[in-house]
């Protein structure tokens, strides 16, 4: 059986105002129905006005994925009724999307278009509707059905989230509903596509992967049992770990699309800043370019992914690179610390990478690179020097933490440790290599982390072999 998957993603755009009115774009406002007006509430006689900033944001995404930016566009009415849709139709785009084609993470894109978000229903003792989200600009991206595994679907969704954040068009937090993923899944025993089933409201990458795997398994079992797969929309039940039927899948005809008569049609190339050249020239450095540059420096894949996903952390790395004049060895050191010790330190302290003093971090790394301090000293000093304007070199010298690289200074320490650990010496001579690590550890302890561990190891071996 062969699974084929297409992905649909809705992302709330971070414009100042809503899609068709001047209300504040703040769907997470604590007070319900705070950011509403007659336009987004669809009062009779009101007229929508298109948000230029939202159109530009979608065209940026299109340019970034190598899509074709439309010269002409219009908005359509997508007719269906839910309590959280004020108009009883949704303003969307059908025949004339803003972007066609393109590719991201090796997945072909069908289209990207703009529409307005719905309100938000809340069900407790009573069912109520909060309209703060109604009319928020919503970008919808649709892929071709070219994905064949849950893992590849997650890779694509993560790459899209990264791109949206890089372009600063959406925060794309899935747990807040700012990025919502739907998977269209079909299973077939031939090259012909099977019956498509849409699984909605997948609000985390883990759920996306688990739901797709489950749905592939469910459809495969149905087909092997001689049962038909019904074209429908299904939801995901996290508690039960399975999909469930919601409704029979609508087709485009069911929505009765037609051009909205209240919104003018647009020739976008004639609008200032909207041409393909203008949009492309305004793009920042894209994630793939950063990935290639970091990989060329020798960073590991997981390190690159962490730095790409955390913009402030990446900013620290970039600053260190400039200070280190592009040194690959310092880059690797910086990446090692940033993606392990410093990530942990930030989590523990509640601080942000924005607070890290890149200059101090670079000084610490340079001293480590030049064997002026040990890795133990560098790690111990991180919490103290990363968030203050301390003079790192002066601090190290004042505390006597400079690495001891002189054999004459370390030899008495080595001899004293050997004299106090005769049983460990015997274990080493009997072939137990771990005994040497213990002795070196004692040497580091006695020198308060300042002893050169390689030199200590050599001295211990030399003394024990006499």
* Among the listed residues 13, 54, 51, 63, the one whose alpha carbon sits nearest the alpha carbon of residue 281: 63
184 shares its domain with 167 = yes
The three-point CA angle 163-198-145 to 5° equals 60
266 shares its domain with 317 = no
DSSP alpha helix (H) spans, 181-243:
205-224
User: What is the rounded distance in angstroms from the CA atom of residue 15 to the CA atom of residue 179?
Assistant: 15
Model confidence pLDDT, tens digit, residues 57-92: 999 999 999 999 999 999 999 998 888 899 999 999
Alpha-carbon dihedral of residues 129, 131, 133, 134, nearest 10 degrees? 110
Q: Are 136 and 27 in contact (CB under 8 A)?
A: yes
Predicted pLDDT at 21: 97
72 shares its domain with 142 = yes
255 shares its domain with 352 = no
Q: Are 234 and 198 in contact (CB under 8 A)?
A: yes
Alpha-carbon dihedral of residues 11, 15, 20, 25, nearest 10 degrees? 90
User: What is the rounded distance in angstroms from the CA atom of residue 365 to the CA atom of residue 232?
Assistant: 57
Predicted pLDDT at 249: 66
14 shares its domain with 109 = yes
DSSP 106-121: TEEEEEEEEEE---EE
Domain boundary among 215, 248, 279: 279
* Residue 332 dihedral angles phi and psi, to the nearest 5°: -65, -45
User: What is the rounded distance in angstroms from the CA atom of residue 321 to the CA atom of residue 343?
Assistant: 18
Average pLDDT over the chain, rounded to an integer? 92
Domain count for the chain, please give it: 3
Model confidence pLDDT, tens digit, residues 376-399: 889 999 999 999 999 999 999 888
Query: Which of 197-201, 265-269, 304-308 comes out lowest in average pLDDT?
Result: 265-269
* Residue 276 dihedral angles phi and psi, to the nearest 5°: -55, -40
Q: What is the pLDDT confidence band of residue 407, given thresholds at 50, 70 and 90?
A: confident
426 shares its domain with 363 = no
Domain boundary among 365, 398, 431: 398
Helix axes 301-309, 287-296, angle to 10 degrees: 140
Predicted pLDDT at 269: 81
Beta strands at 197-202 and 232-237: parallel, antiparallel or unpaired:
parallel
Query: Which of 286-295, 297-306, 309-318, 428-437 comes out lowest in average pLDDT?
Result: 428-437
Strand ranges (E), 13-130: 68-69, 72-73, 76-79, 89-92, 99-100, 103-104, 107-116, 120-123, 127-130
**DSSP 8-state secondary structure symbol assigned to residue 46:** -
Structural domain harbouring 89: 2-279
User: What is the rounded distance in angstroms from the CA atom of residue 269 to the CA atom of residue 282?
Assistant: 15
User: What is the rounded distance in angstroms from the CA atom of residue 96 to the CA atom of residue 99?
Assistant: 9
* Residue 72 dihedral angles phi and psi, to the nearest 5°: -115, 140
139 shares its domain with 157 = yes
* Among the listed residues 450, 295, 444, the one whose alpha carbon sits nearest the alpha carbon of residue 373: 450
Model confidence pLDDT, tens digit, residues 196-211: 999 998 999 999 999 9
Residue whose pair of structure tokens reads 């020239």 in the numeric block: 281
Cβ neighbours, 10 Å, residue 244: 10
User: What is the rounded distance in angstroms from the CA atom of residue 83 to the CA atom of residue 91?
Assistant: 16
9 shares its domain with 120 = yes
Structure tokens at 303: 């390190």
Over range 203-222, report the average pLDDT.
97
Query: Which of 19-28, 232-241, 314-323, 418-427 comes out lowest in average pLDDT?
Result: 418-427
Predicted pLDDT at 40: 95
Q: What is the CATH number of the domain that holds 455?
A: 1.10.10.410
Which residues, including other chains, have CB under 8 Å from residue 289's CB and lie 6 or more apart?
A: none
Q: Are 335 and 295 in contact (CB under 8 A)?
A: no
Which residues, including other chains, have CB under 8 Å from residue 282's CB and lie 6 or more apart?
A: 60, 273
245 shares its domain with 335 = no
Domain boundary among 219, 246, 279: 279
Give the H/E segment covering residue 359: helix 358-369
128 shares its domain with 156 = yes
368 shares its domain with 437 = no
Give the H/E segment covering residue 425: helix 422-429
171 shares its domain with 238 = yes
Q: What percent of the chain has pLDDT over 90?
A: 74
Exposure b/e, 170-193, CB count within 10 A at least 16 = b: bebebeebbbbbbbbbbbbeeeee
* Among the listed residues 2, 304, 332, the one whose alpha carbon sits nearest the alpha carbon of residue 158: 304
């Amino acid at each position: 059986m062969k699974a084929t998957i297409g992905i649909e993603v809705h992302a709330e755009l971070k414009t100042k105002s809503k899609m068709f009115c001047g209300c504040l774009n703040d769907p997470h406002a604590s007070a319900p129905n705070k950011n509403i007006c007659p336009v987004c509430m669809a009062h009779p006689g009101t007229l929508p006005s298109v948000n230029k900033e939202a159109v530009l944001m979608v065209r940026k995404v299109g340019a970034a994925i190598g899509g074709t930016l439309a010269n002409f566009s219009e908005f359509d009415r997508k007719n269906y009724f839910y309590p959280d849709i004020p108009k009883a139709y949704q303003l969307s785009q059908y025949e004339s999307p803003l972007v066609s084609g393109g590719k991201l993470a090796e997945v072909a894109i069908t289209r990207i278009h703009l529409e307005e978000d719905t309100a938000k229903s809340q069900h407790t003792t009573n069912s109520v509707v909060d309209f703060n989200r109604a009319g928020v600009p919503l970008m919808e991206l649709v892929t071709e059905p070219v994905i064949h595994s849950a893992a590849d679907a997650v890779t694509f969704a993560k790459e899209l989230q990264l791109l949206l954040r890089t372009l600063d068009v959406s925060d794309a937090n899935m747990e807040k509903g700012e990025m919502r993923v739907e998977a269209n899944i079909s299973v077939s025993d031939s090259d012909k596509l099977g019956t498509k089933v849409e699984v909605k409201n997948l609000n985390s990458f883990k759920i996306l992967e688990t739901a797709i795997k489950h749905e592939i398994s469910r459809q495969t079992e149905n087909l092997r049992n001689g049962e038909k797969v019904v074209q429908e929309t299904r939801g995901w039940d996290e508690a039960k770990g399975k999909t469930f039927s919601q409704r029979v899948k609508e087709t485009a005809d069911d929505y009765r699309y037609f051009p909205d008569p209240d919104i003018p049609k647009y020739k976008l190339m004639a609008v200032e800043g909207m041409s393909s050249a203008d949009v492309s020239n305004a793009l920042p450095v894209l994630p793939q370019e950063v990935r290639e540059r970091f990989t060329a420096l020798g960073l590991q894949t997981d390190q690159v992914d962490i730095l790409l996903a955390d913009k402030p952390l990446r900013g620290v790395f970039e600053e260190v690179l400039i200070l280190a004049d592009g040194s690959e060895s310092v880059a690797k050191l910086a990446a090692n610390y940033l993606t392990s010790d410093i990530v942990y330190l930030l989590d523990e302290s509640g601080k942000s990478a924005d607070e890290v003093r890149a200059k101090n971090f670079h000084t610490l790394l340079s001293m480590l690179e030049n064997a002026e301090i040990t890795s133990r000293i560098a790690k111990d000093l991180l919490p103290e020097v990363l968030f203050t304007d301390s003079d790192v070199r002066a601090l190290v010298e004042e505390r006597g933490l400079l690495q001891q690289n002189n054999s004459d200074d370390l030899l008495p320490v080595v001899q004293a440790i050997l004299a106090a650990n005769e049983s460990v010496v015997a274990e080493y001579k009997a072939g137990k290599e771990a005994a040497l690590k213990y002795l070196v550890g004692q040497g580091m302890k006695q020198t308060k982390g300042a002893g050169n561990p390689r030199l200590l190891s050599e001295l211990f071996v030399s003394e024990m072999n006499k």
